[in-house]
A = this chain, B = another copy of it.
C-alpha cells in the first residue's frame, strides 16, 4: 500500500473514482486549490465529466484503464463506497488511495460496520446477522418490537431495506432479497436524525463540522438544518464519536456518521459513510472550508481547513422533477445543479442552501 511522502503540490492531480455529484463537487473544490482532478466513471456521461478535461470512462474492473488512470494521478480517492474491493486493492498497489482499504472493509458491509462501531463502545440499534429465513425469524424474536431487514452490502437511499413487524415478514423479506446476506436491526423510536461530518488529516489532525439535523422523505434526505435540535453537549458528543471512529480506521479524508437521537437524548450510530455526504452540502456556503475542500485537503496531505460555521443554514435536496422549478429555486437561495440530463423519479438533481445570520 502506497502512502504520500509529501503533500501533493499545486498543479498535482487528484484521481476521483465515481463521476456523480459528489465527484463533481470534489473536483470543483480541488480546482479552487489549484489542484487538477481526473474523474474515473463507468458510464460515458457523468456530472463530474463536465468540470474537468481529465477523464476516463471505463469499467471499474478494467485493469488497463485503471493503470493508466493511476499513472496520471498523485493520489486517488472516491465518491462512493461500493467500489469493488479488487479495484481498490489494484489501485492501492500503484498510488496512495484515501480513505484506504481498511475504511472500506469496515463500512461496505452493515454487519461488519455495526460490529466495529459496537467494539468502540458506541451505541447502535440492536442488530443480528441474517443468512437464512430461519435466522431472520429467530432474530426477529429477539427484538423488542419491529425491525428493518437490510442487505449487508450495496444499499443506499432505502434500497435493499424492508420494514418488518413479524417473524413471518422478516423471513419473507429475506426471501425477497434473494437470500443476499442481511442484517436485522431493531427499530429505534428516535426523536430525530442527525449526522456529523468530520475530517482526519494525514498528520492525524481532526476537524468536525457542527452536526446538522436531518429529515428524510421516502428514505431520501430531504433537508439538513444547522443548528438543529442537538444540544451543545450532544454536538460535542457527536464530534467525539466521529473522532473515535476516524482514529480507529486510521482514516484520511472526510467521513460522515449518521445518528439517531433518541427521546432520552442518547446518540446511536446508524451508519458510517466513508466519504463526503449529502447532509454536509451546506458547508459550501456556511463554512470557510467546505466538506469537499476538506476532503481534498486531507487526501492531498494538506493542512485541514477551518470547519467553523459562520452562518446558520438549511439545505434542501432537489429531487426528480422538482428541478423543473430551477428558476424560482435560483431566486430562493444558493442553487446547485448537478448537470444531470434526465430528472428520473427519486434522482438527486441538485440542492439549494439558504443562509441566515449565525445564532
Contacts and interface: CB of A to CB of B under 8 A. Distances in A.
Interface of A: 7, 9-11, 24, 28, 31-34, 36, 49-53, 55, 285, 288-289, 297, 302-303, 305-306, 310-311, 323, 326-327, 330-331, 333-339, 341, 350, 353-355, 357-358
A63 B80 CA distance: 44
Given A52-B53, A310-B358, 15 more contacts: A28-B28, A28-B51, A31-B50, A31-B339, A32-B335, A33-B337, A34-B326, A34-B337, A36-B50, A53-B53, A288-B353, A303-B331, A306-B333, A306-B334, A310-B355
A282 to B, nearest CB: 11
Nearest to A310: B311
Copies of this chain, complex-wide, total: 2
Contacts of A341: 11
Given A52-B51, A327-B7, A24 B33 contact: no
Contacts of A31: 24, 28, 50-51, 339
Contacts of A336: 32-34
Given A10-B337, A11-B339, A303-B331, A34 B350 contact: yes
B288 A302 contact: no
A32 B323 CA distance: 14
26 contacts: A7-B327, A9-B326, A10-B323, A10-B337, A10-B339, A28-B28, A31-B50, A31-B339, A32-B335, A32-B337, A33-B335, A33-B336, A34-B338, A36-B339, A49-B53, A50-B52, A53-B53, A53-B55, A288-B353, A302-B330, A305-B330, A305-B334, A306-B333, A306-B334, A310-B310, A310-B355
Contacts of A337: 10, 32-34
Nearest to A32: B336
A8 B51 CA distance: 18
B310 A327 contact: no
A11 B337 CA distance: 9
